[in-house]
Structure 1
Amino acid sequence: MWRSFNAAVSMLRAHLESQLQHDSGMPHTYYEVLVALSEAPEQTLRMSGLAEACQSSRSRLSHAVSRLEANGWVHRRSCPTDKRGALASLTPRGLAALQEAAPGHVEAVRSSLFDVLTPEQVTVLGEISTAIRNGLASECELARQVECEVEEG
């Protein structure tokens, strides 16, 4: 069961990565960053909050945001209330790139995941995913705290 689940998740991730790269020229990581920023108030998040929203390490996120800045899709600036922090904002070009990529990505998710499941299976998948996420939440929070201590130390 584990190998089957692992293979399905790996294949789904690879398929979605390939679709985004082929259709939009962006990796899934960049898409996740753009989505998180698009859903944030004023389309802006602290880098730490963005890392959490994307379930990414700060160093990995920082690299992605640097590339998104180079594309003109994200703007990063110092936090006015905390000089140690940084804010990332979605630019109009970034929003346009997301809006162009989203329909194909949504279709790929729908066709490769939801269309192959019955409505009952979708419900159970949601319940299972929530249970796994809730079970790992404290472990992931601990890992983020350790990462922060390493970066600050």
Structure 2
Amino acid sequence: MGTTSRLVSALLGLFRSAPAPARPASTRAPAGRPTAAPSGAQTVEIDPPRRLTLSYAPQRDNAPDGGEIVWTWVPYEERDGRGKDRPVLVIGRADATRSYAVRLTSKPHDGDRQYLALGTGEWDPQRRPSWVDVEQLYLVPDAAMRREAAALDRARFDTVASALRARYGWTRG
């Protein structure tokens, strides 16, 4: 075996024995195959708490803040362990490590009382109109939030906050 062949064999051996790189939370499964929640990123749908202080305080600091739209893994409504990576609007803090959020969708929901039209924004690279689902509330660990996508402007956040207060009976904090 020549020097070049031994070198190629040695390099290939290194690649074969190297552990596979960890799959980041933002990696998506092939089309048609739902993803499972990444380890440590257990976003869960919750029943609304009796009291919740909605907050608007977006800051570009790589931490979830009220009024920011972030991407995270969100379980499907069937609650069968499947879900997908999607944008959510952070509406307030639950505690030091978790936030409350509502999910966004680009699927049209004109006239559906469960959804509130948001329009377009930086959170969707294709600039499609979005709707926020005011009927489903999520508890999202900070570690599960993949990236900040955009800050929703104050007027649109206030519209969402008003709809949530009306829906759940929350008072201004």
TM-score normalised by length of structure 1: 0.25
Of Structure 1 and Structure 2, the greater helix share is in: 1
Q: Which structure shows the higher strand fraction?
A: 2
Choose 1 or 2 for highest CA Rg: 2
